[in-house]
Structure 1
Amino acid sequence: MWTLDHLPVQAIEQQYGFTPDAAWTDKVMHASVRIAGGCSASFVSPTGLVLSNHHCALSCVEQLSSIKKDFVKDGFLAATPAQEVRCPEIELNRLDRISDVTNEVKTATAGLSGAQFRDAQNAIKARLTAACVGDNKTTTRCDVVDLYHGGRYDLYQYHRYQDVRLVFVPEKSLGFFGGDPDNFNFPRYAIDMSLLRAYENGKPAVVKDYFPFNPAGAQEGELTFVIGNPGRTQRLLTVAQLETQRDISLQHLLLNMAQLRGMLTQYSAESPEKARIAATDLFYVENTYKGRLGQLQALQDPALIAQKQQQEQALRAFVAKDPALSARVSGAWDAIAKAQTVYRDIEPDYQTKEIGIGFNSQYFKIARMLVRGADERARPDEQRLAEFTEAALPQLEQRLFSTAPLYPDFERVKLTASLTKLREILGTDDPFVKQVLGKQSPEEVARQWVAGTRLGDVAQRQSLWQGGKTAIAASTDPFIMLARRVDPAARAVRMKYEDDVEAVEQKNAELIAQARFAQLGDKTYPDATFTMRLSYGEVRGWSERGHEVPPFTHFAGLYDRATGAEPFALPPTWIAAQSRLNPQQRMDFVTTNDIIGGNSGSPVINRQGQIVGLVFDSNIHALGGAFYYDPVSNRTVAVHSGAILQALQYVYGADHLVQELTVPDMH
């Protein structure tokens, strides 16, 4: 997962005979984009057409749907540009520039610890991002990126697209064919794709760099590159931090996800409309549960922990041999271990009050944004919570004023379940629980709050946002009153976490990074940070229990796998199109590229910079990829470029999109 300004050029050239020069790398950077909510994508035409996954556009598709027009079930195709529909919340980011700001950040925090370290780091990040954005915050986004856990800090400048429109998405039964049983497995038979379009000034964006489609796709053994934004890896964490993940964080997350899945499944069974409303949440929960379970199983493998212990001991031994380095660094591991003890003590309060396990409702999330926004925007930019700095406000406001529908009954059910969870975790006699529930049950307060709120009205949210602290203080909306009431406790535990856990981890991880650089130089890549990375690999299957798993599946296998019952039911369009499709057309394939969550929607390109596939999953072996990469069995799963073109042409009659996708890149 290499950053584009530090590619292992010699290693790629030695293994594959290809040198990614500056011009190639620059094009790759500008042709790739990030979906700010958590996916990757790429430009695939000079008029702003964007390729990503079905599941990356699912929230938009659901938000544009209704009981009368269910685009999740039936798919969506804009036959003309006029029919392209704006997504309420999707923001695209195109990376334009990377600047090293390590000296600025480390100078600002030198000699500081705890709250002073946190405040100084937040302040310098706010200053750097504000200067980077300037007067162009509607079209420019800037983030200070922590690499190597504080070993290096870079300033990433993006071009921001907030007018993003839906062009095409297949039926969910095809985009997620095989459902949860096939998820993180292979063979796969899904066309997990979507087409969006970036607009500027009301017109399709004109882009210089994009990836044209190669209909033939990659061949077995061929070099492939994945360019995307892997979310978070923990490959460089200390053993103490990994033990916290194994023993506390993942255990509690999985328990919560399992209970949420049960609630959502029950709600979905009550009617087709409730199933439609809950579909996006249920997909997220099922996907998260399976992914995190794989991570937990990886950390429960004694061999992995032994390997991490051996690596840590070797680094500590290296430090001990250098008196000057030892004086600076040797206490870092113990300090981080102590911070884990602090986290274990505050974890129930932090997760329920600040992270929001206790208040699972869009109404509450909106109320918290409004309440905290009123407080934070009254402060100097450098003193605000990170999510309320001037540079961060455009994306926050896009979410806050989203026209996506809210469903009161669904919000009531989710809130009831989460308030019950709040009481379960903290206890009936906890003062915070009493403050929230009083003498009422979770069902009673959830019903009253949802019935009394006006936060489903975008105009009401805008009025409260514009009215600032005065409007918030005067509001009698039950969710605004709740957010006001619980915010002191939530802020207090957040500050405790940031001062005594996060700041300690960050400060001491910087020291460990210095030791690692002294030992290895910069010949290793940093942990993933949901910023652009390049992975190189090749199309290759693997061995599973003595059997070879071929790298490709074909359309013929899709029809063989179909049973007519979900999640293996084909939509009518595919049943009707069977005779028009080439049964030997490659459909999905696997590569040795190194990916993690966040890479969904990443383009798979060849050395010519052509699309040969679209990342949408990994195999089950790669679920431990948060902690290590194993080229023997870890595999990326992608949709074949030829399958996408055939589906568009012969199933959906979208010849105009096929023509646009195959426009050759003249640059």
Structure 2
Amino acid sequence: MNKKSLLITSLLVGAVSLVGYNVREEGMFPLSEIHKVDLKKAGLKIDQNEVYNPNGISLVDALVNVGGCTGSFVSDEGLIITNHHCAFSAVQLASTPENDYLNNGFVARTREQEIEAKGLTCRITDSYEDVSDRVLGAVANVDDPAARLQMINNQMKNIAAEAEQKDPSIKAEVSEMFIGKTYVLFRYKTIQDVRLVYVPNRQIGEFGGETDNWVWPRHTGDYSFMRAYVGKDGKPAKYSKDNVPFKPKKSLKVNPNGTNEEDFVFILGYPGRTFRHRPAQFIEYQANYVLPYTSELYDFQNSTMESVGKKSKATEIKLATRIKRNANVMKNYRGKMAGIKGIDLVAQKKQEDAALAQFINENVDMKAQYGNLMENIDRLYQLINGDANRDLWLSQIYNSTSLLNVAKNINSFKSALNQQPAAQKQAFFDNNIARVKQALNNIYEAYDVDVDRKILKRMMMDAVAFTPNQRVAAVDKITNRGSNNEAMVDDYINDAYGLTKLKDQNYVLNTLLKSSKSISDYNDGLLLFENDIARQIAELKPEKDRRDGILNKLMGDYVNVKEKFLKKNFVPDANSTLRLTYGYVRGYSPADATYMSPYTTIKGILEKGATGNPDFGYPSIIKQLWANKDFGMFAKKELNDVPVAFLYNMDTTGGNSGSPIMNANGELIGVNFDRAYGATINDYAWNESYSRSIGVDIRYVLWAASKIDKADFLLQEMGVKL
């Protein structure tokens, strides 16, 4: 669509008067690309250097990556705002049946009351540098695909290690921006001490539950507050009562007035992964294998965990984070499947690829260099599809079954120990045992024996049904591929779980891992089963490496050709590095004769609550405050209510959870947390007509903090005057 058409469209939907208004198909701009975006023409009122300034302080300096989500500093005392679901695992770990912060919420009214957010760290982007020439230069004369990819990976690690050696205070990573084509070195500062400050009641922070997940209209108060701490010398340090609040270079100003429809807004954040520059075969692989297999497996896992969780409050709390993560992925994947089918994305991609093939064949030079490109891509994906079921099974088995994951860690450590010379074995044990114990502790935190047994049976029965070329040797060894496979699987699980001591966390950590001898001496059925799985993974690895190497080269060529064909440069797919996206507060029409307005209100909470669905339970004080029209300064005049959530046409994906939504003046007016169901396909394709993201309105955050949880001290710290 050309600029004129876009302008007419925007005028029709919202009387936008921005002459240069434009909508881009790829809108997640890396820091290196921000200067190419005319944000002033789009509606930004501050200088563009105030958003990102590599030579000075800017809004980018207020951003943090926390627990795989995005967060932002909102005070000069290290206060961070992010999503409720981003703090969920830390709140779960801090909760007990006696102090159920997970359900009741948590407010620290003094610094001393702030609780360690176990498992969470803050990562701040310090700087970046394009190192594509260094990476690709190392493989310029390498033809073997597996060797080429290995050398690329080694060069990426070496460049990162070199950067860390120059500056030990940073963590360095080289990120692949375009597969097989461009590479950027990122330098990060990591804050290790993060604490919970304020988490709302779960009926606020998770209102709507899975019923409303990935759905609009939405009424979820998906927000939480944490605080970053450092040592007294200002340097990152592990949790200690002696640590002091971190002083960020920049913190965001909170604007309690929020937004209006068609306001310009933008987001800075760390979006996870998108796959928009891939061929039709990749989309087919996702639609036919990855998405259905994973969503069905997670559905089974959650049904199992929810059932087992009823046996005690402690079990329910223990399994809560895993259930929530599974449910989020499951619904997202089902939305993607519906989206791929709904817009017939595979057919679109095939049409694009056919045009690309024609372009190659009609140009002598292009044909000489890329004549076999499309055929080679197709041939590779035939191989990938042929092993898909077994490969997905092997990729999920350890995450699915906790004790097999425990076994994997123990077997790996045992193997590494046995490879050490006798004189060095004790030193190796001493240097690594704490890391191993921590890894096992993390696994046991979400472990339940009844859940484990049932999920392992499901996994093994899945493997039994695989075609002859996709057998799982470890499972075949148990069933002998007999006629009564289920009975043999049941017998194995009963024997293995009955005899193993791995299900006893105390025994594993304090007896089995007591010495190198105790580790070497111990064995059981689960360790042997895991060894068989690991052996097959190792046997398959050379072929997997070969395919990955070929794919790396093919995808680099694919993007090169596509850029020449379309005569434009692409914005790289998201890869968890810092990005900017912009757009407008805007509703949409997801179906014929249906229009979704861009704001929801407290009234909608009460309406949903009246349906009787337990996902729509809410604290009774909300109804009292609403009846009394006790909205304070946070009501939106046109709605005569407090806005709860709002829609915008920005380009987001996983990892953008917790991203600050900012207005034209760079002020915080909301926190991103979700997408509408039709926008789950964003990872593969983005379109203004159906791609809408969802944020919690800052007015609802401030209203709930003040009126419900009496946390006015936080508003004061953020500079919000009541």
So what's the TM-score if we normalise by structure 1? 0.88
* % identity of equivalent residues: 23
Q: What residue in structure 2 maps to residue 612 of structure 1?
A: 669
Q: Distance in 2 between matches of 1:651 and 1:496?
A: 58
Aligned equivalents of 1:13 and 1:196: distance in 2? 33
Distance 1:121 1:378 in 2: 30
Residue 558 (str. 1) matches residue 608 (str. 2)? no
Contact preservation (8 Å) 1:556, 1:584:
yes
Q: Which of 679, 685, 690 is the aligned partner of 1:633? A: 690
- CA 1:430/1:102 → structure 2, altered by over 3 Å: closer, same or farther? closer
Cα distance change on mapping 1:13 and 1:308 into 2, 3 Å = farther
Q: Partner of 2:346: helix, strand, or coil?
A: helix
| Match of residue 333, structure 1, among 370, 374, 393 | 374
Query: Shift of the alpha carbon at 1:488?
Result: 1.7
Q: Distance in 1 between matches of 2:572 and 2:417?
A: 34
Deviation for aligned residue 1:450: 6.0
Tell me if structure 2 keeps the 8 A contact 1:619–1:636: yes
Give the whole-Å Cα distance in 2 for the aligned partners of 1:569 and 1:647: 16
Aligned to 2:52, what secondary structure does the other structure show?
helix
Deviation track 1:368-396 (CA, whole Å, cap 9, x = no partner) reads: 3454467679999xxxxxxxxxxxx9x98
Could you tell me whether the CA contact under 8 Å between 2:90 and 2:118 is conserved in 1? yes
- Please give the alpha-carbon distance, in whole angstroms, between the structure 2 residues aligned to 1:398 and 1:575: 48
SS at match of 2:127: strand
Q: Which residue of 2 aligns with 1:534?
A: 580
Paired residue secondary structure (2:98)? coil
- 2:408 pairs with 362, 365, 368, which one? 368
State the match for 1:218 in structure 2. 259
Q: Does 1:247 align with 2:247?
A: no
Distance 1:15 1:64 in 2: 44
What is the SS of the residue equivalent to 2:186?
A: strand
Letter in 2 for 1:342: L
Structure 1: distance between partners of 2:270 and 2:583: 17
Please show how residues 303-452 of structure 1 align to structure 2 within 5 Å. Answer: 303-353=344-394, 355-357=395-397, 360-372=400-412, 400=439, 406=445, 410-427=448-465, 431-435=473-477, 441=490, 443-445=493-495, 447-448=497-498, 451-452=501-502
Q: Deviations over 1:292-319 (max 9, x none)?
A: 0111122224642232223223333333
Cα pair 2:44 2:264 within 8 Å, conserved = no
Aligned-residue Cα RMSD (Å) equals: 3.2
Which residue identity does 1:447 align to in structure 2?
A: Y
In 2: Cα distance, 1:79 partner to 1:14 partner:
44
Structure 1 counterpart of 2:238: none
Aligned to 2:706: 649
Q: Is the 8 A contact 2:625 2:631 kept in 1?
A: yes
Where does the alignment leave 5 or more consecutive residues of structure 1 unmatched? 381-392
Q: 1:158 to 1:113 in 2, by over 3 A?
A: same
Shift in Å, 1:626: 1.5
Aligned partner of 1:516 in structure 2 is 562
The Cα of 1:13 is off from its aligned counterpart by 3.2
Kindly provide the amino acid, as one letter, of the partner of residue 413 in structure 1.
V
**Partner secondary structure for residue 220 of structure 1:** coil
Whether the aligned pair in 2 keeps the contact of 1:147 and 1:526 (CA below 8 Å) is yes
Q: Determine the C-alpha separation between the residues in 1 that align with 2:442 and 2:598.
A: 42
- Matched residue type, 1:444: N
Summarize the Cα distance change of 1:81–1:17 in structure 2 as closer, same or farther, 3 Å threshold: closer
Deviating more after overlay: 202-211 vs 429-438: 429-438
1:193 matched to 2:218? The reply is no
Contact 1:588/1:639, CA 8 A, preserved across alignment? yes
Asked if the contact 1:246–1:296 (Cα under 8 Å) also holds between the matched residues in 2, the reply is: yes
Deviation (angstroms), 1:232: 1.6
| Distance 1:632-1:430 versus aligned 2 partners, 3 A rule | closer
Q: How many residues align?
A: 644
> Is the Cα–Cα contact under 8 Å of residues 150 and 510 in structure 1 kept in the other structure?
yes
**Distance change (3 Å), C-alpha of 1:85 and 1:115:** same
Kept in 1, the 8 Å contact 2:196–2:227? The answer is yes
**Structure 1 residues 562 and 430, CA, compared in 2 at 3 Å: closer, same or farther?**
closer
- The change in CA–CA distance for 1:562 and 1:301 in structure 2 (over 3 A counts) is closer
Mapped contact 2:86–2:658 kept (Cα < 8 A):
yes
Question: Displacement, 1:155?
Answer: 1.2
**8 Å CA contact retained: 1:538, 1:592:** yes
Inter-CA distance 136–7: structure 2 relative to 1 (3 Å threshold) = closer
Q: Aligned to 2:209, which of 158, 174, 179? A: 179
> Quick one: structure 1 residues 216 and 120, their matched pair in 2 at CA, closer, same or farther if it must change by over 3 Å?
same
Change (3 A) 1:328 1:646: same
Report the counterpart of residue 12 of structure 1 in structure 2.
39
- Structure 2 segments unaligned to the other structure (5+ residues): 1-27, 232-242, 421-431, 481-487, 633-639
Q: Distance in 2 between matches of 1:298 and 1:272?
A: 38
Classify the secondary structure of the residue corresponding to 2:603.
helix
Q: 1:543 aligns to what SS in structure 2?
A: coil
Of the structure 1 ranges 429-438 and 267-276, higher mean CA displacement relative to structure 2 is found in 429-438
Q: TM-score scaled to structure 2, two decimals?
A: 0.82
